């Protein structure tokens, strides 16, 4: 009788799926394959199908929380460990409220979006061999056509530009609605038509900060751009 009851419970679990929606972040949960897991923010979890309803835990703020294997490591963390960390600029002294010209290769992850309208400028940072992170407002007027990498000058004709295959803006970005959600969603991903040249000494990937904690007030930060903020 106990064996029969056990088979019924297993069958019901397979049919109905696992419900983790009331489980908080950090608590134990059950994976779709019935193995134990831990509820974590999706950015901290490497999972085969985070969109599956059975993997969703109780949401935490703006971030989706999912049930993932206890020993899983996010792919972003693994990749970032292989990228040199750019902690601070090599140009000193730092001048507050003024601009300094960067040296060639000082910020090898920095790219320049190029438009048919040459008066437009927008920066982007290289986060994988084919993807750059930028702002969604960079495409309000027109889409960029190319990305220039490996240079510190917007007018450097010697830097060979990379073609753009796709531009994806955050679905919550609505420039006509000045809401907090839209401001937070001012993000876009640019996909290159080809991978960057791995042998170019002036091109490198940027490892994004994954912590959600605020930086201390004493931390010095560097803003990198192409000479315009419009």
Residue-level pLDDT at 215: 74
Q: Are 184 and 170 in contact (CB under 8 A)?
A: no
Q: For the whole prediction, is pTM greater than 0.75?
A: no
Cβ-based neighbours of 26, under 8 Å, separated by 6 or more: 38, 39, 40
Fold of 102-230: Thrombin, subunit H (2.40.10)
Tokens of 178: 């000045």
For the chain, report the end-to-end CA distance as a whole number of angstroms.
73
Domain residue limits, the chain: 17-73, 102-230
How are beta strands 146-149 and 131-134 bridged, if at all?
Answer: unpaired
Residue-level pLDDT at 91: 41
Residue-level pLDDT at 93: 46
Residue-level pLDDT at 178: 63
Residue-level pLDDT at 18: 61
Alpha helices per DSSP H over the chain: 2-16, 75-80, 180-184
Mean pLDDT for each consecutive 10-residue tract of the chain (230 residues)?
42 50 86 86 64 69 78 65 53 51 83 88 92 93 91 76 94 74 83 92 84 74 72
Residue-level pLDDT at 114: 92
Q: Report the alpha-carbon distance of residue 189 to residue 192 in Å, rounded.
A: 10
What CATH code would you report for 17-73?
Answer: 3.30.1640.30
Q: Are 22 and 6 in contact (CB under 8 A)?
A: no
Omega into 93 within 30° of 0, i.e. cis?
Answer: yes
Q: Report the alpha-carbon distance of residue 82 to residue 227 in Å, rounded.
A: 31
Residue 153, burial from CB neighbour count under 10 angstroms (0-12, 13-18, 19+):
middle
Checking 161-170 for CB contacts under 8 A at 24+ apart, the result is 161/114, 162/192, 162/193, 162/194, 162/196, 163/192, 163/193, 163/194, 164/190, 164/191, 164/192, 164/193, 165/191, 165/192, 165/193, 166/190, 166/191, 167/139, 167/143, 167/191, 169/136, 169/139, 170/136
Q: Cα dihedral angle (76, 194, 166, 203), rounded to 10 degrees? A: 60
Tokens of 9: 């419970």
Backbone angles phi, psi at 139, to 5 degrees: -120, 25
Residue-level pLDDT at 223: 81
């Amino acid at each position: 009788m106990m064996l029969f009851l056990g088979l019924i419970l297993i069958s019901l679990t397979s049919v109905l799926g696992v419900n983790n929606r009331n489980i908080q972040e950090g608590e134990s949960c059950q994976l779709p394959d019935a193995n134990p897991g831990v509820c974590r923010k999706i950015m901290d979890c490497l999972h085969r199908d985070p969109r599956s309803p059975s993997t969703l835990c109780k949401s935490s703020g703006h971030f989706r929380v999912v049930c993932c294997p206890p020993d899983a490591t996010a792919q972003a963390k693994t990749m970032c460990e292989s990228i040199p960390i750019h902690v601070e600029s090599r140009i000193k002294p730092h001048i507050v409220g003024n601009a300094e010209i960067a040296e060639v290769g000082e910020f090898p992850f920095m790219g320049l979006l190029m438009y048919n309208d040459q008066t437009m400028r927008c920066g982007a940072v290289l986060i994988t061999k084919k993807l750059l992170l930028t702002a969604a407002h960079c495409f309000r007027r027109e889409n960029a056509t190319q990305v220039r990498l490996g240079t510190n000058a917007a007018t450097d004709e010697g830097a060979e530009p990379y073609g753009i295959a796709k531009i994806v803006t955050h679905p919550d970005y609505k420039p006509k609605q000045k809401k907090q959600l839209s401001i937070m969603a001012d993000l876009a991903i640019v996909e290159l038509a080809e991978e960057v040249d791995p042998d170019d000494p002036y091109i490198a990937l940027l490892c994004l900060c994954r912590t959600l904690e605020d930086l201390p007030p004493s931390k010095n930060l560097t803003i990198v751009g192409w000479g315009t903020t419009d």
